[in-house]
Amino acid sequence: MNTIDNFLTDSCKSNPQKLALIDDNSKFTFLELEEKVKKFSSFLNQFPEKSVISLLFDNTSEFVISYLGIINSGCIAHLIPTGISQSNLQNQIISAQPKLVLSSNSHFSKINDMELENLEKLKFSEVKEISSDTRTLSPNDYAYLIYTSGTTSTPKGVPITHSSCDFSTKNIAKTLQYSKNDIDLLPLPLSHSFGLGCLHTSLYVGSTLVLQKNSNTTDILNSIMKYNVTTLATVPSTLSTITSNSSTDSLDPLSNLRLIITNSTFFPPETIRKLKSILKTGIVATYYGLTEASRSTFMIFDDEEKIESVGMPSEGIQIKIQNDSNDDKIGEICIKGSNVIDNYWKKEYSENKSDEWLKTGDLGRFDEDGFLYILGRVDDLINISGEKVYPQEIERIVKVLSGIDEVVAIPMKHKSFGEVVKLFVKKSVNSEITSSDILTHCIKNLERFKVPAKIEFVEDFPRTDYGKIKRFMLKE
């Protein structure tokens, strides 16, 4: 069983002069990176082991050096998204209770503005080497702490052990066949489980990681060409933007990729088909996972019939569908395995686990071949006279209409039917679509009881710091 620091030291032993990391301003070989990390961790050794150190950085080498430095020093890295609101930042700091908050120069004002007593704050550039002690890590120690995005409720602290991370990293590397020959482009935040998993995988297999600060599609295509990238990890919306807004010729850089990996947010089938048609020999893949249960399934898209599935459980991971009725194949997805957390931070939310099974709050079903399909969230179900309606089904139908950017269906109380569908719609710029256009389309394409009883147009939706829509706030 590895600890995260071994990923770097092992790759450094094998290929010290190989390029490990590239960002906008710098490049590091594995040897250079290891030396930087050691120096950084020597500073952190002044803090007791298992202290929490918070990190607020963009996707830069500074993030990677600080993160690995914290890990090396036996402390716990609390990863903060750079887009975090001031109130959420304050809540996370109060909950995590860090000994120190480290930040890039550009984000320092955010932590400096916080009015918390005895909170030590430091810029990356102020860190100096002060001791040469080394510490021994245990696989069962917590390595890092991430707060969930709060899409469905209050953000929860999720601490991840070295052993859980080791399991997930090997799972990713094996399933998607990462190797030291890869050059991995990452335009995803390292403060999120998806992006961080990609960093771990690159360090573990000894590939080269190219960090990009944003998901600008032109930058992505340019980076692929500039660095001869072989794998791209990004969210479905970025891939949809790339394929829908770019001319066929401009998508040429994608054609030589070995792998495009995305995550389990709804992945439009037409985007998958377009990507597959562009790739010469590469694969398109997705996964289903939570911060609490990283990469629980993988799906490599090679079967048109399974295009809406998130795949099958990974080796060593069990998934079951839990529901009240024996006949109903749809229910809450529960996960058990070495990738699942033991507890939430401070052992809160213990009701989310039962006999080592993590209750995800996601609704799903398996098909006859054992492929998993995500249908939405348990809390989002709309119960219309006993009929269970999945908001995503309605949203997908409405999204087909042009002139609509985003749409969310929620339950609305009704005196006869218990609940009916209410639709929130964010129109595209200059769109002239009306609620009667949407209703007429719904009547033609949905069963009667699923047709929205109310439509409200909104300028935008309440969102988390990660940009996800806070559905629960629309219900209030």
Interacting residue ranges for other proteins, rule: CB under 8 A? 416-417, 420, 434-436, 439-440, 443-444, 448-449, 451-455
Q: How far is the CB of 413 from other proteins (least distance, A)?
A: 14
Q: How far is the CB of 472 from other proteins (least distance, A)?
A: 24
Q: How far is the CB of 111 from other proteins (least distance, A)?
A: 48
CB 365 within 8 A of CB 376: no
Q: How far is the CB of 383 from other proteins (least distance, A)?
A: 14
Which of 322, 188, 332 is CA-nearest to residue 263?
Answer: 188
Query: Would you say 39 or 441 has its CB closer to other proteins?
Result: 441
Residue 299 is classified by DSSP as: E
CB 188 within 8 A of CB 234: yes
Query: Would you say 406 or 437 has its CB closer to other proteins?
Result: 437
Query: Would you say 85 or 440 has its CB closer to other proteins?
Result: 440
Q: How far is the CB of 441 from other proteins (least distance, A)?
A: 10
Query: Would you say 278 or 438 has its CB closer to other proteins?
Result: 438
CB 152 within 8 A of CB 292: no
276: left (phi over 0), alpha (psi -120 to 50) or beta: alpha
Q: Would you say the C-alpha torsion 72, 78, 79, 82 has a positive or negative sign?
A: negative
Give CA separation, 475 vs 148, 327, 384, 408, 468, in Å: 20, 30, 16, 11, 16
Q: How far is the CB of 69 from other proteins (least distance, A)?
A: 58
Q: How far is the CB of 201 from other proteins (least distance, A)?
A: 50
Query: Would you say 100 or 404 has its CB closer to other proteins?
Result: 404
Which of 216, 290, 224, 227 is CA-nearest to residue 259?
Answer: 224
- Dihedral over alpha carbons 81, 86, 92, 98 (to 10 degrees): 90
Query: Would you say 218 or 434 has its CB closer to other proteins?
Result: 434
Query: Would you say 431 or 435 has its CB closer to other proteins?
Result: 435
Query: Would you say 417 or 466 has its CB closer to other proteins?
Result: 417
Q: How far is the CB of 93 from other proteins (least distance, A)?
A: 46
b/e per residue 325-342 (b: at least 16 CB within 10 A):
eeeeebbbbbbbbbbbbe
Query: Would you say 118 or 416 has its CB closer to other proteins?
Result: 416
Q: How far is the CB of 348 from other proteins (least distance, A)?
A: 42
Return the number of other C-beta atoms located less than 10 Å from residue 181's C-beta.
11
Give CA separation, 162 vs 6, 166, 194, 338, in Å: 10, 6, 16, 11
One DSSP character per residue, 62-113 reads HHHHHHHHHHHTT-EEEE--TT--HHHHHHHHHHH--SEEEE-GGGHHHHHT
* DSSP bridge partners of 373: 365
**How are beta strands 418-427 and 454-457 bridged, if at all?**
parallel
